[in-house]
Amino acid sequence: MAGDAGWIRLHRKALKSAVFRDPHLWHLWSWCKMRANWEDTTVFVDRLSGPVPIKRGQFVTGRESLNRDVYPDRRKSDPSASTTWRRLKQLEKMGNLLIESNRRFSIVTVVNFEVYNPRPGRDEQPNDPQVTRSCPTGDPQVNTDKKNQEVKEEEKKKPPTPLAFPEVLDTVEFRAAWKDWVRHRNEIKKPLKPTMVGAQLRRCEKLGHAAAIAMIENTIEKGYVGLLEPDSGFNSKGKSDDGRNKRYDSAIHKPGGPKGSF
C-alpha cells in the first residue's frame, strides 16, 4: 500500500496536456500517481488465499473499489463507478497507464513511474528533469526540443563560412560585383541558395574575370532574376529583340537554351 508520506514530481508542462483540461481525468491521473506503491511489495486481496506481488509503480484496484478510493466522500455530483473505470481505461489508451485485469482484480502500472517518483538519492529535487519522448500524454515532460532550439540559436550566432571564390575570380573587383549581385537577389526577394551559388560561380569561372563582371552588372542594371550576358538577345521584359516571347530558366541552363539561363 502506498503511504501518506513522500511526494511526486509535477512538471509545469502538464498545464498544456489533454488530461489537465479534463478536471475528472486530471483528478484520476493525479490519484494514480500518488496511489502507486513506491517499492515492491505484496498485497492481500479478498477471497484469495495468498498475497499478490506488486511492483514499484503499481497498485491493485477494481471497478467499485477504484471509485470509492478516488471519491471517498460520496456526493451526488461524483461520477459512477463505470464512468470512473472508463476514464481509467482512457488514461491507458493515452499511454499513461498499463492495466492487467482478471476476474477478481486489476493491477495498474503507472508508465515512467521513475519520472514522477525517483528513488531516494537520485536527483530528488530537479529544476528541469530531462526525460525521453515516451512520456505519457497526461503529464508531458521536458524533451530535447529546448536543447535543439539552443543549438539552433548558437548556430545563428556563428559567423557565416567565407565564400571560396575560384582563383580566377578571387579579386577585389569580382568580389564587389558578387556582393552587389547577392544584394540584388535579396532586394527582389529571391535570395541565392547554396547550390545556385556554386553553379553560378562555376559559370562565371568559365566566362572569365572580365566577362563575369560584365554579366553581373548587366543583370543588375536590367533587373533580371537570373544572370544574363550583355549579348544574350533578351530585353528587360524577358523577350528577345525580335519581339517573340522566349522563356528562360533563371536557375538552370537548359541544353539549346539562350545564354544566361541562370
Question: Based on the number of CB atoms within 10 Å of its own CB, is 254 exposed (0-12), middle (13-18) or buried (19 or more)?
Answer: exposed
Mean pLDDT taken over the chain: 78
- Please give the Cα distance from 100 to 94 (Å, whole number): 16
Contacts 24+ apart (CB under 8 A), 228-236: 228/259, 228/260, 229/259, 229/260, 231/259, 232/258, 232/259, 232/260, 233/258, 233/259, 234/258, 234/260
Q: Tell me the torsion sign for CA atoms 83, 89, 95, 100.
A: positive
Q: Is pLDDT larger for residue 209 or for residue 250?
A: 209
- In this prediction, residue 25 carries a pLDDT of 93
Indicate the DSSP class of residue 234. Answer: B
Q: What is the pLDDT of residues 207-236, one digit of tens each?
A: 899 999 999 999 998 888 888 888 766 554
Identify the CA nearest to 39 among candidates 98, 118, 126: 118
Mean pLDDT within 114-118 = 87
* Cβ partners under 8 Å of residue 120, min gap 6: none
DSSP letters for 109-172: EETTHHHHSPPTTSSSS-SS-B--TT--TTS--B-THHHHHHHHHHHHHSPPPPP---GGG-SH
Which one is predicted more confidently, 134 or 52? Answer: 52
| pLDDT at residue 260, rounded to an integer | 47
**Domain ranges (residues) in the chain:** 12-118+128-147, 160-262
Query: What pLDDT is recorded for position 121?
Result: 64
CA pair distance 165, 261, nearest whole angstrom: 21
* Mean pLDDT on 42-59: 82
What span, in angstroms and rounded, lies between the C-alpha atoms of 134 and 53?
Answer: 26
- CB neighbours of residue 172 within 10 Å: 7
Return the amino acid letter for 204. Answer: C
pLDDT digits (tens, 9 = 90+) for 192-202: 988 888 899 98
What pLDDT shows up at residue 103?
A: 83
Q: What's the topology of domain 12-118+128-147?
A: Arc Repressor Mutant, subunit A (1.10.10)
Higher pLDDT: 184 or 121? It is: 184
| Confidence (pLDDT) at 170 | 87
pLDDT at residue number 211: 92
Q: What is the pTM of this model?
A: 0.45
- What residue has cell string 519522448? 133
Q: How far apart are CA 234 and CA 239, in angstroms?
A: 5
Query: Cα angle at 112 between 100 and 99, to 5 degrees?
Result: 10
Dist CA 126 CA 128 (whole Å):
6
171 in Cβ contact with 205 (< 8 Å): no
Which residue has better confidence, 240 or 75? 75
Percent above pLDDT 90 for the chain: 33
State pLDDT tens for residues 146-180. Answer: 566 666 677 666 666 778 888 888 898 999 999 99
User: What pLDDT shows up at residue 250?
Assistant: 44
Least confident span in 127-131, 160-164, 201-205: 127-131
Checking if the pLDDT of 47 tops 60, the result is: yes
